[in-house]
Structure 1
């Protein structure tokens, strides 16, 4: 092995939206000759192994997650619990500290990448191991809320205004959206808030890294450097393009193949968010109202065992032949690239945001959480490549507002649809241009070499 290669240990937050980007980055690093050990629970390993393109250089090391009171027995990942229980999972993950310490002492990797495990630098520093706090959320989510310029204690009124020096006028939250960020003041672990955990994780590392690019968030990354007085390394989107070893499942390929090109509306809200039953029903009725073919992939709503049991009366009969609501897992990248799909309705999680930008599909956004709202502002207000579904003050969206948003981008004569399509095409060309993605990773690796000296 090349003596200049690294051995990097990775310890991401145990949620698929965090672990999957870490595996994508591991593939990029392994393709350049570096060894990676990804420390995750066994259930997560089983879900992620198919993404490993370099089994000779990337290995998964299982972490045993101890039980923490309030969590269902055997809980290992965030996708197994409601969002409200994430703080308890954080406390359970903190109890794996001894396992991480033993691994690092035994194997002494050159670097450790982590995100929420704020205690990693304390262990690594004693062993002479460099630490990189690798964040898979947008720079805006960090810069707006999780910086020293936010004076404690944080109140709902404080969150109505950006911190001192925040550089963007458009990627901001107001009113109820801003107040939704109060979760950062809540416990996330035993005796620590989400704000304190994240700021400590960012402050204590040797280098901060963010899964973004300067073209989208350069000013926000510069702000983060100034706030924490340390280097911020960018990896680019790192989407794992080509990481899939399979092809689209036959039943979905056959179903999608029965429709005209660019006519199907695909909807997904990520692996963890669960809608209330009445909002779920309003959503599916909104798709019915569009008159367009659709595929909706969502978890069953609260209080329901299956999506089928939650559907409005008569819905399945009315949309049979043009609409499907599915409660399981699908190969989203393949669906988004299918010729029949023309619109992606999503929650604007950071992964979905990048997937949206790299396809030719129109984008309709229904954000639920604070970071998703900021991603939405970036796409809607800054880049003007998407539309957001209008909501009432209590964050409810109606079937009419959802249908209106979808029709506004899918109707050929729509001025809004033409505008966002034109802007979207420009960004897709930039992001998919030869050497764009690989250039970011190459520069990232060079920066790692610099900090390791």
Structure 2
């Protein structure tokens, strides 16, 4: 095959936590001469245009979302919807099959890379002679623990909390054994049906069983036991693209006000804390978090976000402990809304990142040489935290109460101190720092990361060859 012959369609779910990895992969593939047609709802196109590298072989194809009762017109990603309303995006997706079939008939790509919610795509594409690849934006550990056939031998029965706490039958012998009760309670969401549609578990399993191959955003170096288990469960090719490390934004300077504030502090002394744009802490969680950061005695930069319908500044004033801002004047900065996260993490004074353990955040922290403290809040984040803290021993997870996930200010302080307080006698701290350095060296090795993409393109060409 000629280099420019390979043509893939990218079709992520309408959530930027899913769109971003598809964009990052598109940028990697287009740099290797692969033609990319990127599908998304029209309301997301302008933001995607800013994220995609300009290339003559890359195009964005705007999709029309059908009318769904209860889904506000013009709202076409989860970032502007409540979790309940977001379920209606899956209803809209299911109604888009004729539109997708027409587009694929015209484009005739070699592959469609699709997401968890489009389980109807493999048979539709197969009719047109197009191969499908389920691109999992989650870690292999998350797929292996939650969405394999062994998880639910009787697909008509919803599992109990006690069953979901335990790994599925045949799960590899690793540090991951049993999850806490509050985590299992969160996992039960994927087995629930909304608006008469399939559950997340059913969608994922049907998609994984029906696709031509599975593509995972990971590698054997990071997750070999879980990758091998997935291969055994689905009996089909599992392609690997590595962690898809984003390129450094070396030409973008940090805002001068924030830079000036961070410049005051010693190298690697500042805690940066953020949970992304779609994770919202309740008042008690905010209070324990900020009081815990205060107890560390270290300077910190905290980003707190609130649902879009609320006034962020009012919510922030209401949720913080009385007198907190006055007490920490000069030592703590609290911000709402978007920030230049890569630039903040890359600042010389920032030494620790407290985050929700979304895997992109984990990778960012390691690349920027920040110690990791993880406070997961939903889904795959809990399993990512186990992977990093227990399998890799490259970060710390905040201790939580079993039944409800409560954490105290002392739990926050204790987790931060493990990675931030110098103690030559602390063996665990030494192990974590050594492993953090090992993974950073691996992630910033451009030759290693480039080879993942080169090998993937070779694999795709071999699959596409007549």
Distance 1:62 1:15 in 2: 15
**Which residue, 141, 154, 164 being the options, matches 1:159?**
164
Q: For residues 32-47 of structure 1, what are the structure 2 equivalents within 5 Å?
A: 32-47=32-47
1:227-275, CA deviations, whole angstroms, 9 ceiling, x for partnerless residues?
1110000000112213676332333222222222111110111221111
Find the counterpart in structure 1 of residue 146 from structure 2.
Answer: 145
Using the TM superposition, name which of 152-161 and 338-347 deviates more.
Answer: 152-161
Does the C-alpha gap of structure 1 residues 248 and 286 become closer, same or farther in structure 2, counting only changes over 3 Å? same
Using the TM superposition, name which of 73-82 and 319-328 deviates more.
Answer: 73-82
Residue 336 of structure 2 corresponds to residue 333 of structure 1? no
Verify the 8 A CA contact 2:214 2:238 in the aligned structure 1: yes
Find the counterpart in structure 1 of residue 439 from structure 2.
Answer: 427
Q: For residues 244-323 of structure 1, what are the structure 2 equivalents within 5 Å?
A: 246-300=252-306, 304-307=310-313, 308-309=316-317, 310-323=319-332
Find the counterpart in structure 2 of residue 131 from structure 1.
Answer: 132
Tell me how far 1:434 sits from its aligned partner: 4.1
Verify the 8 A CA contact 2:3 2:34 in the aligned structure 1: no
Distance 1:340 1:261 in 2: 4
Task: Tell me the C-alpha RMSD between the 2 structures.
Answer: 2.1
Does the C-alpha gap of structure 1 residues 72 and 299 become closer, same or farther in structure 2, counting only changes over 3 Å? farther
Distance 1:296 1:58 in 2: 37
Verify the 8 A CA contact 2:305 2:337 in the aligned structure 1: yes
Tell me how far 1:84 sits from its aligned partner: 4.0
Distance 1:392 1:172 in 2: 17
1:117-167, CA deviations, whole angstroms, 9 ceiling, x for partnerless residues?
111112211111111100010111111111111212222232132222111
Using the TM superposition, name which of 398-407 and 412-421 deviates more.
Answer: 412-421
Distance 2:341 2:194 in 1: 30
Distance 2:92 2:145 in 1: 28
Stretches (4+) displaced over 4 A: 1-4, 301-304
Distance 1:399 1:303 in 2: 28
Find the counterpart in structure 1 of residue 68 from structure 2.
Answer: 68
Verify the 8 A CA contact 2:80 2:308 in the aligned structure 1: no
1:12-31, CA deviations, whole angstroms, 9 ceiling, x for partnerless residues?
01111111111111111111
Does the C-alpha gap of structure 1 residues 99 and 209 become closer, same or farther in structure 2, counting only changes over 3 Å? same
Tell me how far 1:357 sits from its aligned partner: 2.5
Residue 457 of structure 2 corresponds to residue 445 of structure 1? yes
Distance 1:187 1:244 in 2: 45
Residue 364 of structure 2 corresponds to residue 363 of structure 1? no
Find the counterpart in structure 1 of residue 228 from structure 2.
Answer: 222
Distance 2:416 2:377 in 1: 18
Using the TM superposition, name which of 439-448 and 241-250 deviates more.
Answer: 241-250
Distance 1:168 1:179 in 2: 23
Distance 2:43 2:324 in 1: 35
Find the counterpart in structure 2 of residue 49 from structure 1.
Answer: 49
Distance 2:191 2:250 in 1: 38
Aligned length: 453
Using the TM superposition, name which of 105-114 and 425-434 deviates more.
Answer: 425-434
Tell me how far 1:170 sits from its aligned partner: 1.5
Does the C-alpha gap of structure 1 residues 304 and 53 become closer, same or farther in structure 2, counting only changes over 3 Å? closer
- Please report the TM-score for the alignment, with normalisation by the length of structure 1: 0.94
Does the C-alpha gap of structure 1 residues 378 and 267 become closer, same or farther in structure 2, counting only changes over 3 Å? same
Verify the 8 A CA contact 2:357 2:385 in the aligned structure 1: yes
Verify the 8 A CA contact 1:121 1:131 in the aligned structure 2: yes
Find the counterpart in structure 2 of residue 29 from structure 1.
Answer: 29
